[in-house]
Amino acid sequence: MNSSIEKRVVDEALYMIETKKTLREIAKVFKISKSTVHKDLKEKLKNIDNHLFMEVKLILDEHIKIRHIRGGESTKKKYLKLTNNSVKK
């Protein structure tokens, strides 16, 4: 594997461990696709650093557990924003 790719994968993992950000948020920071971040952290990281992989896996598992809550929050914010915009008009 290319050393620049390995460095990116490790950087993504460290960033996730530090910030607990989601795959989408990490993708925006690193200016790559969500799919690339997912593949990096779920497949490539395991071959690079198994200890980091296990830490990231715990965070990803937690994100999966609470994704239904996050989705509900997003929908609520969306409709509050729409309601506030229609009230201002």
DSSP state of 45: H
CB within 8 A of 70, min separation 6: which ones?
22
Q: Look up the domain containing 51 and give its range.
A: 3-88
pLDDT at residue 85, as a whole number = 73
Q: How many contiguous H segments (helices) and E segments (strands) does the chain have?
A: 5, 0
pLDDT (tens digit per residue) in 30-84: 999 999 999 999 999 999 999 999 999 999 999 888 877 666 777 778 888 888 7
CA separation, residue 31 to residues 23, 45, 69, 74, 78 (Å): 12, 18, 26, 22, 25
Q: Which residue type, as a one-letter code, is found at position 85?
A: N
Q: What does the pLDDT average to over 12-29?
A: 95
Which has the closest alpha carbon to 63: 31, 34, 32, 85? Answer: 34
Q: How many domains does the chain have?
A: 1
pLDDT at residue 72, as a whole number = 73
Question: pLDDT tier at 87 (50, 70, 90 boundaries)?
Answer: low
pLDDT at residue 18, as a whole number = 97
